[in-house]
Amino acid sequence: MEAGLLSVILGAVLVPGDTAGQELDLQKTVGFWREVGVASSQNLAPKTPKRLEAVFLTLSGDRLTVKAAYNSSGSCETEKIVGSEVDVSGRFVFPGHREIHVVDTDYAQYAILRVALQWRGRDFHVLKYFTRSLEDDYAPGFWRFRELTADTGLYLAARQGRCAKLLKEELI
């Protein structure tokens, strides 16, 4: 549970770039997202046994369902977790003291998420960069991601994408 849930949570947080100051349109965030980059001063991503490759988001009322695809030692695994929206649009809480906030997105090509979680008694904060594409790692949001993570200690983790591809094909 710890590794899988940690990977899901370390994989999601969006911040509206072009929509700054406006309410986030959650319906436009649903669908497939492939993880391209992770930024954390703790450098946790390389240590997790399950590596998040992609997520598929669905929304029902104030509940966000995240179906995540992981590469676990060469095997693909999926997991579902459900969170609830809280007082700020685009901020969701999940079981186990985990929170995801959409920091920036253009909805069509990229999303940047901020993930906060408590793991092994410590608080962690991670920024994640996602694209809608299986191939394009450096969509327009990449430079925004670099700007937001300049003082964080950037760790980029482009995935091979086998599990991401399987998730996308399964849901089409």
Question: What span, in angstroms and rounded, lies between the C-alpha atoms of 85 and 166?
Answer: 28
54 close to 34: Cβ distance less than 8 angstroms: yes
Distance CA 98, CA 128 (A): 15
Domain 2-171: state its class.
Answer: mainly beta
pTM here is 0.79
Residue type, 12: A
Domain regions of the chain by residue span: 2-171
What pLDDT was estimated at residue 171? Answer: 66
pLDDT tens across the length of the chain (172 residues)? 343 433 343 333 333 344 445 678 888 989 999 998 888 776 555 556 778 899 999 988 878 899 989 888 888 999 999 988 776 667 888 887 788 888 899 999 999 998 887 777 888 888 889 999 888 766 678 888 888 888 776 566 655 678 888 888 876 4
Q: What is the pLDDT of residue 4?
A: 40
